[in-house]
Amino acid sequence: MSNDKLKQIISRQAKQSSESLIDHSNDIVQLVGFVIGEEEYAVPILSIQEIIKPISWTRVPQTPKYILGVFNLRGSVIPLIDLRTKFGLRPKKHNEETRFFVLKEGDDVAGFVIDRLTMALRISKKNIGPAPDTMAGDESVIDGVGKQADRILTILKVNKLLERDF
């Protein structure tokens, strides 16, 4: 059993499993929509760990304004980010409709404050356009723009949202 052979087998297996993944996820994307300020945004449903009602949090010093602090989610300490402030809007008091979106990618988890939840929706890939040229690129937090009958959704990149940028 030489290691070359081993490696070959393993890489072949890896290839197979990744191929089968692609097969499943071609046409339809499932998203969850939410509102911040006047605009509607969306993130892929699989990146959402959970959505909770606002709970108390603890301020963390030496951080930018949009980081409200950290909160306790069943024993884990999770950062809380105010998307209003992050997107340059005036902060708003939390109300009945405010929610914490707990997003997850890999080991990164963070909570995001949003103004209002809209709905979960299925949208076909062909209805998703690229981000406007001025806002595209690796640095942009916008992944694309989803078009539905009566509205337009800005789809956000979860990995970008979870990336520390200070």
Partner 1 sequence: MDEFQEILQDFLVESFELIEQLDQDLVELENTPEDLELLNGIFRVAHTIKGASSFLNFDVLTHLTHHMENILNQARHGDIILDANIMDVVLESIDLMKALLYKIRDTSSDDGIDVTACVAKLDKINDGEEIEAPVVKVAPVEKVKVVEPVIVDELDYDNMSDDDVEAEIQRLLTQRQDEDKMKRANKIAAGESVPKPPPEPDEDIVEEKKVEPKSKPATPPPAPAPVPVRSTPQPTPSRAVDIDDEDAKAAAPAKRAPATVEQTIRVDVKRLDHLMNLIGELVLAKNRLIKINVDVEERYEGEEFLEELNQVVSIVSLVTTDLQIAVMKTRMLPIGKVFNKFPRMIRDLTRELNKKMELEIHGEETELDKSIVEEIGDPLVHIIRNSCDHGIEMPDVRIAAKKPESGTVILKAYNEGNHIVIQIDDDGKGLDANMLKRKSVEKGVITEKEADSMTEKEAFALIFKPGFSTAATVTSVSGRGVGMDVVKTNIEKLNGIIDIESEVGVGTSIKLKIPLTLAIIQALLVGVQEEHYAIPLASVLETVRISREEIYTVENRSVMRLRDDVLSLVHIGDIFEVERILDGSEHAYVVVLGLGASKLGLIVDSLVGQEEIVIKSLGDYLTGIEGIAGATIRGDGGVTLIVDVAALMHMAKGVKVTALAERGGGAGSVSKEKTKASDYTVLIVDDSKTDRMIMRKSLEPLGVTLVEAADGQEALNLLKQGDKHFDAMLIDIEMPRMDGYTLASEIKKYNRYKNLPLIAVTSRTGKSDRMRGVESGMVEYITKPYSADYLSSVVQRNVNFKSEFL
Tell me which residues touch partner 1 (CB under 8 A): 2-3, 6-7, 9-10, 56-63, 67, 69-72, 75-79, 93, 107-110, 162, 164
As measured in angstroms, the least distance from the Cβ of 95 to partner 1 is 10
Nearer CB in complex with partner 1: 31/110: 110
Question: Based on CB atoms, which residue is closest to partner 1, 61 or 88?
Answer: 61
40, 46, 48, 51: CA torsion to nearest 10:
80
Which sign does the torsion angle of CA 59, 159, 103, 84 carry?
Answer: positive
d(CA 135, CA 35): 19
Least Å from the CB of residue 151 to partner 1: 31
How are beta strands 108-114 and 116-124 bridged, if at all?
Answer: unpaired
DSSP string of 61-129, one letter each residue: SSS-TTEEEEEEETTEEEEEEEHHHHTTPPP----TT-EEEEEEETTEEEEEEESEEEEEEEEEGGGEE
CB 23 to partner 1: min, Å: 24
Closest to partner 1 by CB, 83 or 110: 110
The minimum distance between CB 154 and partner 1, in angstroms, equals 22
CB of 144 to partner 1, least distance (A): 24
Query: Given the complex with partner 1, which of 91 and 130 has the nearer CB atom?
Result: 91
Using the minimum distance from each CB to partner 1, give the nearer residue, 78 or 83. 78
Give the CA-trace dihedral at 42, 44, 50, 55, to 10 degrees: -30
Distance (Å, whole) CA 70 – CA 94: 16
